[in-house]
A and B are shown apart, each in its own frame.
Chain A
């Protein structure tokens, strides 16, 4: 008789259902023991994205630039609201936003598109949204190339602060992943969740200070009257994230129109968002692990 590797022993008792802490621990173990799989899936995804299109990876550079051009034309020329150095101002928000939307949309379908595999091999499904969100990091990194190019046109704003971009990106990554886990699991049960997500994201973009600065937001007559709504609007994580990115890339537009060169981000706001995101990701992991056993049945 051959030696049987007991590390593979697996006992499943249907009468025992694990509590939230056990689920969380399981989720962490799943991820830790499948790092190579996550890396492999993310790499394969990046490779496929590049291989399927005519211009390949050039799109990663072109896309944000074209989007920037649209907004510059719309805001600067047609509405003639002038924020100084507007292209850089808006690009600082477009890049992280593109990363965020692509990651959330990809993870929505991440579990559902692997339905055949899920019915064939037992593996922790949590690796799927993680791999897809992680592959988005490459998109974001490529987006920094057009950013560097655009910065050359605004030599006054070139500083060393953009080296802090990765720090802000970590906070965004954790927040994105928390959301990605929930929508990935939800989409298994409700297949039209993708549509809801798409529209919610579009609305979210316009509610976030992407095309305008938060001080312009505060100056509007509407929010001057409804102070509570303003407080609510400021809870949007992308207020903190866009502000942080903009601080290090562009600077900021303060109330009254004074324009500051690049400076340190608001560490307190960023730190609080990080803590909140970590809590969210723990909750999302528990939700995902709770729903995971039903995936193979529903798919």
Chain B
């Protein structure tokens, strides 16, 4: 389907006047079938067929409708396992949604969990070239931006050493540097502001702000609430795979704080209750043992 066809096909109503959208999703859902999403051997699968094990499915993400225009910085927050990273993977085109429509305009860059996917045996410099090739960049373009990537990552002589000798901070620095240097229209970042030392954190903040100013769209998953309220102009809270609230960062962060506090209280109460149950069970067991002897 071409972009023009998609435009004609799109239902009216969620378009923001004036600005061109960078990302638009309609009712997106991602379903995992547990039967196939676990690493399996042929023997296990055979056993499953014989024992007729029921297929389990669950929705990691559902009913997600979003629109992000160029120049926006969207903060995505929520508890662990809520579907934040799944959302980024869908936007990046890594996962295809099981339902709904995703429409992305512009080149996307996002090394989602930074530094993990590099080839351990190759040097930092070779990994930059490799990443460029994976992102579909022309080798001429990559060799042009190579010096700036190396400079920003600030790895010194390590740039010509195999990645396997790098520290995790160095890997993250290289990853961030690559992801933000390829001049993307849309930048997806997952938990990157927490990596690296204080100096690099400052540098990377400055870089993201620069990209937002240059009218690029940024989608950022983070647990750093200050960053969201300070630098994002919109935020969404995702819980259990659904968008709980979308709006002003302050509002969204406040709701997230409330929910987290409630959740904590609930967990604590459950913990106490189960402690009590355990105590009762132990007593009963002791009495039973006494009765036998």
Instruction: Give a binary string over B260-289; 1 marks a CB under 8 Å from any A CB, 0 the rest.
Output: 000000000000000000000000000000
Q: Is B126 an interface residue (CB 8 A)?
A: yes
Q: Is A15 an interface residue (CB 8 A)?
A: yes
Tell whether, in the assembled complex, residue A120 and residue B94 are in contact, meaning their CB atoms are under 8 Å apart.
yes
The answer for the CA separation of A252 and B45 in the assembled complex, in Å, is 47
Nearest-neighbour CB distance to chain A for B37, whole angstroms, equals: 5
Tell whether, in the assembled complex, residue B93 and residue A120 are in contact, meaning their CB atoms are under 8 Å apart.
no
Q: Which residues of A contact B104 (CB under 8 A)?
A: 8-11
The number of chain B residues touching the other chain, given as a range, is: 35 or more
User: Which segment, of A30-38, A91-99, A260-268, faces chain B?
Assistant: A30-38
Q: Is A119 an interface residue (CB 8 A)?
A: yes
Partner of B102, one of A12, A34, A40, A52: A12
Instruction: Give a binary string over B165-183; 1 marks a CB under 8 Å from any A CB, 0 the rest.
Output: 0000000000000000000
User: Which segment, of A69-77, A78-86, A199-207, A291-299, faces chain B?
Assistant: A291-299
Tell whether, in the assembled complex, residue B121 and residue A52 are in contact, meaning their CB atoms are under 8 Å apart.
yes
Nearest-neighbour CB distance to chain B for A54, whole angstroms, equals: 16
Q: Which residues of A contact B6 (CB under 8 A)?
A: 9, 11
Nearest-CB residue, chain A, relative to B1: A11
Tell whether, in the assembled complex, residue B93 and residue A122 are in contact, meaning their CB atoms are under 8 Å apart.
yes
Q: Which residues of A contact B53 (CB under 8 A)?
A: none
Nearest-CB residue, chain B, relative to A34: B136
Partner of B185, one of A2, A41, A51, A297: A2
Tell whether, in the assembled complex, residue A40 and residue B130 are in contact, meaning their CB atoms are under 8 Å apart.
yes
Q: Which residues of B contact A14 (CB under 8 A)?
A: 28-29, 96-101
Given contacts A34-B136, A36-B139, A116-B117, whether A297 and B42 have CB atoms under 8 Å apart is no
Partner of A120, one of B101, B112, B133: B112
Tell whether, in the assembled complex, residue A296 and residue B3 are in contact, meaning their CB atoms are under 8 Å apart.
no
Q: Is A193 an interface residue (CB 8 A)?
A: yes
Q: Which residues of A contact B98 (CB under 8 A)?
A: 14
Most buried by B among A12, A13, A192, A296: A12
The answer for the CA separation of A117 and B108 in the assembled complex, in Å, is 15
Most buried by B among A51, A114, A122, A293: A122
Number of A-B contacts (CB under 8 A): 148
Q: Which residues of B contact A153 (CB under 8 A)?
A: none
Q: Which residues of A contact B138 (CB under 8 A)?
A: 36
Q: Which residues of A contact B103 (CB under 8 A)?
A: 9-12
Q: Is B107 an interface residue (CB 8 A)?
A: yes
Q: Is B14 an interface residue (CB 8 A)?
A: no
User: Interface size on A (CB < 8 Å)?
Assistant: 44
Given contacts A11-B6, A121-B111, whether A4 and B105 have CB atoms under 8 Å apart is yes
Tell whether, in the assembled complex, residue B134 and residue A8 are in contact, meaning their CB atoms are under 8 Å apart.
no
Nearest-neighbour CB distance to chain A for B189, whole angstroms, equals: 12
Tell whether, in the assembled complex, residue B3 and residue A6 are in contact, meaning their CB atoms are under 8 Å apart.
yes
The answer for the CA separation of A121 and B107 in the assembled complex, in Å, is 12
Tell whether, in the assembled complex, residue A296 and residue B94 are in contact, meaning their CB atoms are under 8 Å apart.
yes
Q: Is B84 an interface residue (CB 8 A)?
A: no
Q: Is B20 an interface residue (CB 8 A)?
A: yes
Q: Is A283 an interface residue (CB 8 A)?
A: no
Tell whether, in the assembled complex, residue B93 and residue A12 are in contact, meaning their CB atoms are under 8 Å apart.
yes
Nearest-neighbour CB distance to chain A for B227, whole angstroms, equals: 22
Q: Is B119 an interface residue (CB 8 A)?
A: yes
Nearest-neighbour CB distance to chain B for A70, whole angstroms, equals: 31
Q: Is B71 an interface residue (CB 8 A)?
A: yes
Which positions 115-171 of chain A face chain B at CB distance < 8 Å? 116-123
Nearest-neighbour CB distance to chain A for B53, whole angstroms, equals: 16
Partner of A8, one of B32, B96, B185: B185
Given contacts A10-B93, A37-B136, A121-B111, whether A192 and B20 have CB atoms under 8 Å apart is no
Tell whether, in the assembled complex, residue A120 and residue B111 are in contact, meaning their CB atoms are under 8 Å apart.
yes
Tell whether, in the assembled complex, residue A44 and residue B119 are in contact, meaning their CB atoms are under 8 Å apart.
yes
Q: Which residues of B contact A10 (CB under 8 A)?
A: 93, 102-104
Nearest-neighbour CB distance to chain A for B35, whole angstroms, equals: 10
Instruction: Give a binary string over A1-30; 1 marks a CB under 8 Å from any B CB, 0 the rest.
Output: 110111011111111100000000000000
Partner of B121, one of A2, A12, A41, A48: A48
Partner of B42, one of A12, A190, A293: A190
Tell whether, in the assembled complex, residue A40 and residue B129 are in contact, meaning their CB atoms are under 8 Å apart.
yes
Instruction: Give a binary string over B128-167; 1 marks a CB under 8 Å from any A CB, 0 the rest.
Output: 0111011110110000000000000000000000000000
Nearest-CB residue, chain A, relative to B60: A297
Which positions 45-67 of chain B face chain A at CB distance < 8 Å? 45
Q: Is A222 an interface residue (CB 8 A)?
A: no
Supply 8 A–B pairs (Cβ within 8 Å), ascending by A. Answer: A4-B70, A8-B105, A12-B96, A16-B1, A34-B133, A120-B94, A191-B41, A293-B95
Query: Which 8 pairs from chain A and chain B are nearest by CB?
Result: A122-B93, A117-B117, A9-B3, A37-B133, A116-B117, A192-B41, A11-B6, A8-B107
Known: A5-B107, A41-B133, A293-B96. 15 other contacts (CB 8 A): A4-B185, A8-B106, A8-B107, A8-B108, A11-B103, A12-B101, A14-B99, A44-B119, A44-B122, A48-B122, A120-B111, A121-B110, A296-B89, A297-B37, A298-B36
List residues of A whose CB falls within 8 A of some B CB: 1-2, 4-6, 8-16, 33-34, 36-37, 40-41, 44, 48, 51-52, 114, 116-123, 189-193, 196, 293-294, 296-298
